[in-house]
Amino acid sequence: MRIDKDTFREILDSITRNRSRSLLTGFGIFWGVFMLMLLVGGGAGLKQTISNEMEGFAHNSCIAFANNTSKAYKGFKKGRNWMMDYNDVERVKNMVPEVDIVSPILSYWRATFYHDEESFVGSVKGIRPDYAEIETPKMMYGRFINDNDLLSSRKVCVIGKEVYKTLFPEGGDPCGKSIKVSGVYYQVVGVNWSAGNININGSAESSIFIPINIARQVYNTGNDIHILFFTAKEGVAMSDIIPRVREVIGRRHYVDPTDEMGLIMLNTQLIFGLQDSLFKGVSFVIWLVGLGTLLAGAIGVSNIMMVSVKERTGEIGIRRAIGATPRMILSQIIAESITLTLVAGMMGIVIAALILAAVNMGMTEDGILKADYQVSFITAVSAALLLTVLGVAAGLAPAARAMGIKPVDAMHEE
């Protein structure tokens, strides 16, 4: 569809003459696009915010910990207190081949950390190096706990972000410096900047990590472990191996394998699956509401254009009488419809983008954007193309009516 300068001038004149009607039409499209962009950008930011809360945590993992039994089993009454032990690690590895990583942990809440005059209350976690496969660290300084730390029984630690900010307010690399915990000095070998807020006996930000053999010695835990993490091999559903792991551990400690309260297992694979399903549902609702609003706006454009055509019957008839072809009438009406939808729609996109950019300014921490509440360039371009299509669709019925006007009838009506 080719539009010459005269046709374009006529489109602008028509929009100017019908200013109030054009504003009403444009507002419907503007509001539809504005809401769609806000919902899409807000949905993307919300998804990223929630994802950041679970950042770095293995999606195919399970968290197991002992609890008082709720069923009697092999002569033991219900309500019995028991603990998993270090040997359960090898039992699970050997007897459940579908398991990939098995990592034990010892944890202690509300320990006080000291450095010079500063102090911080957080959690101590005794781990093995393979724990990094469960909750991936994001090292700002130094390194994570390694095998040599365990073999040499080094009193070293990796500190979380909040611990670092409190104990080392002057900033800089703290590696090589010492902190005191429960009367024991540990040398800092790394700073874990992970922002994930999955709280397993304390978040990563407010915890320090030490070798698990050091934790066993310092806290005199013997062979006990507090939590057992394990992951499934690729292609294996965690829900398929949990009953087998429950049976292996339960048989050794005389806990009924069907006692889900006696040995609690949190399937993170299921949690992440529910999260993905939730995001898909939210995205579907966002686009459904947004597109519905746009369609309502397009119908409004079509109706008002129809009224405009009826009011301009005489004008259109005169143009037909002096040689205007149906194609020229069609081009003008559809171009006017496209212009209205595009101008109003682009204003909606720009204003929504500015509002989302303002939201982003408040979503930074330590100079890092925590969540991007913004629409992508592809989404904006797709919206513009959709507006063009809607503009054409909205102008078809009025254009058909305009092309059907006969000069003689128009003159008679005039």
Does 146 lie in the same domain as 160? yes
**Mapping DSSP to helix (H, G, I), strand (E, B) and coil, where does residue 127 land?**
strand
Number of domains in the chain: 2
Does 76 lie in the same domain as 203? yes
With a cut of 50, say whether residue 352 has pLDDT above it.
Answer: yes
pLDDT tens for each residue of 203-260:
889 999 999 999 999 999 889 999 999 999 988 889 899 999 999 999 999 999 999 9
Does 103 lie in the same domain as 27? no
Tell me which of 271, 288, 312 is where a domain ends.
271
- Find the domain containing 374 and state its range: 5-54+273-413
Does 151 lie in the same domain as 281? no
Q: What pLDDT does 159 receive? A: 96
Does 285 lie in the same domain as 207? no
Angstrom distance (rounded) from CA 399 to CA 333:
5
Instruction: Assign 278 a pLDDT band (cuts: 50, 70, 90).
Output: confident
Does 72 lie in the same domain as 191? yes
φ and ψ of 104, to 5 deg: -85, 160
Does 250 lie in the same domain as 101? yes
Does 172 lie in the same domain as 289? no
Within 10 angstroms of residue 409's Cβ, the number of other Cβ atoms is: 12
Tell me which of 271, 295, 319 is where a domain ends.
271
Does 155 lie in the same domain as 120? yes
Instruction: Assign 11 a pLDDT band (cuts: 50, 70, 90).
Output: very low
Q: Mean pLDDT, to the nearest integer, of 348-373?
A: 74
* Dihedral sign (CA 127, 133, 136, 137): positive
The share of the chain scoring above pLDDT 90, in percent, equals 38
* One-letter identity of residue 192: N
pLDDT tens for each residue of 169-178:
998 999 999 9
Cβ atoms of residues 215 and 124 within 8 Å: yes
Does 190 lie in the same domain as 111? yes
Does 168 lie in the same domain as 136? yes
Angstrom distance (rounded) from CA 330 to CA 332:
6
Tell me which of 236, 271, 306 is where a domain ends.
271
Does 202 lie in the same domain as 149? yes
Give pairs for 399-404: CB < 8 Å, separation 24+.
399/329, 399/330, 399/333, 399/334, 399/337, 401/306, 401/309, 401/310, 402/309, 402/312, 402/316, 402/329, 402/330, 402/333, 403/326, 403/329, 403/330
